[in-house]
Amino acid sequence: MSLKLSHLPSRQKIKPVYPRSPSTIDPNNPPWPAYRGYHEYSFAYATMGQRLPTILGKAIEDVVLTLNQEYDEERVVDLVQCIERMDALMKELQAQAKLRPIIDDGEADVALWNKLIAKYFQGKTFMNAPWLFAEAYKYRRLQECFSVSKHWKNYDVFFRQKCDTFSRSHDAVFELSMRFAEPFVLKEHLSPGDKLEAERLMFMELTQICLWGNSTDLSLLINMTEEQIRSLQSTGGANLAATEKNILGNHMKRLWETVVSLRANTGGRIDFVLDNAGFELYCDCVYADFLIQSGLAKEVRFHGKRYPWFVSDVTKKDWSWLLNTMVYGHLFPNATEEERDSIRRLGMRWKQYEKEGKWVYEQHPFWCTGFTYWELFNEAPDLFLHLSRSDLVIFKGDLNHRKLTYDCAAPPSTDFEIAIGPMASAAGAPRVCSMRTIKSDVVVGLGPDGDQLAERLDKEEEGWKISGKYAVVLLSEGRPGEKVIFT
Ligand code: F6P
Ligand code: MG
């Protein structure tokens, strides 16, 4: 029997209300609408449809170069199989295939990946899963191509390119090393107030150097000319003053007040969740060096990735390469004797920090998962606890920012604290700073007029969210010192 319902109100379109309530948020349903590969208005579309296949194609070319120089039969055959797996991945990517579980290749993150796929992404494809997850998944699958091999487990398809960004940055590298090779000393006759002001100015400039070091990211700028790189990396004072107006959400003043208060309490621990290797890492280290020398920090912890990630992200190998090439390398054939000496001295000082335990390099498996940092508290409680003991955690770059903010369409006026959820609101959450040049859709923390500002830029400057021309430096106070409780 069928009922006639002609007297009831007609069916209505029920729109979800954003932000979603905490109990309904999960990796497939972020607080605001997710970006997905099929969203043509979003950078997700170009990335999933074109950029990722291009990046994978270049990675295959790199392996072929290595293959052509290999002589041992067992290693050759093993590497050919890696290429076959990469070809298969390329086909899946282009066919918008469903995301399959990760093979148990002995990596520490397999269980985390497969839990996420089973719970939230069964049947989802490269194009209809949330962009952040699908993109991260592609890098995990790329790692799997090598980690199941016998001889090539630690092969890095992006290593050559990462080294190149540094060697192609001659001018900016020496601009900095010639200024910072000598340990930093303040002029003797300055009053305490003038000394503090001199340090503040230096801190502000170095913060910008650290920030803009993020704009030369390989995944976007693969075909840049030397000239374009030079202009992006320019470290001249006038240029820095001009670029500050491009920092659309700017908490640098509060950041300075924070580090000064740390020094008053005998100097704090500052953590960097690193982004890119090569030139950006070099800028991070110049900044961290200043933090140590000025006493603003007494310990700096650097968090890198366990394997190649989003093309240019720092691995332990990149970290060691940078420090060793600075001290022993012959990377800059046109450098003067003074320039070579300056970079060697910088490198030696940084290695000394490592020996003394003032600088520590770490690589937790969580950083290479598809989880956002909203889930850090639950999925990596040990890491949350560890970070909660830091006085300030600086997250570098675009991907970290996407993960902090759940990579969803929150209004640009959304407060940073709200956008990062538990990383600000959980008991014991550390102070968090995001230093990011804007290279993808999510933009928050622009203040009460942020929505209008973003609308104006949408109209006037196409591509403003992916050019790396604009940036944010955002700070969340967190709930430091409170006991972390896991229920
Ligand atoms: O593929 C897009 C992306 O994930 C964006 O987040 C950004 O454009 C780039 O890759 C990575 O940038 P970053 O190195 O600053 O995290
Ligand atoms: Mg990166």
Q: What pLDDT score does 225 carry?
A: 55
Which bound ligand lies closest to the C-alpha atom of 158? 2
Residue 310 CB–ligand 1 contact under 6 Å: yes
3-state secondary structure of 408: strand
* Omega within 30 of 0 (cis) for the link into 9: no
CA of 1 to the centre of ligand 2 (A): 61
Protein residue whose Cα sits closest to atom 13 of ligand 1:
398
Which residue puts its alpha carbon closest to atom 3 of ligand 1? 399
pLDDT in the model for residue 234: 54
Q: Give yes or no for a contact between 221 and 278, defined as CB atoms under 8 angstroms apart.
A: no
Question: Quick one: average pLDDT of 316-322?
Answer: 98
d(CA 35, CA 48): 11
Residue 181's identity, in one-letter code, is: A
Residue 209 Cα, ligand 1 centroid: separation in angstroms? 19
Which ligand is closest in space to the CA of residue 311?
Answer: 2
Domains of the chain: 21-148 (1.20.930.60), 161-476 (3.40.50.10880)
Q: Ligand 1, residues 272, 440, 467: which to mutate, most atoms within 8 A of Cβ?
A: 440
pLDDT at 222: 39
Give the Cα separation of 73 and 51 in Å (integer).
34
Place of tokens 């349903």: 29
* Chain segment 344-398, per-residue pLDDT in tens: 999 999 999 999 999 999 999 999 999 999 999 999 999 999 999 999 999 999 9
Residue 226: pLDDT band (50, 70, 90) is low
Asked whether the predicted pLDDT for residue 232 surpasses 70, the reply is no
Tell me the pTM. Answer: 0.94
Ligand nearest to the CA of 439: 1
- For residues 360 and 302, is the Cβ–Cβ distance under 8 A? yes
Note the pLDDT tens digit of each residue in 161-210.
999 889 988 888 999 999 999 998 888 888 999 999 999 999 999 999 99
Yes or no: say if 472 and 249 are a contact pair by the CB < 8 Å rule: yes
Distance (angstroms) between ligand 2 centre and the Cα of 264 equals: 34
| 372 close to ligand 1 (CB < 6 Angstrom) | no
Residue-level length of the chain? 487
List, in sequence order, every residue forming a beta bridge with 118; answer none if it has no partner: none
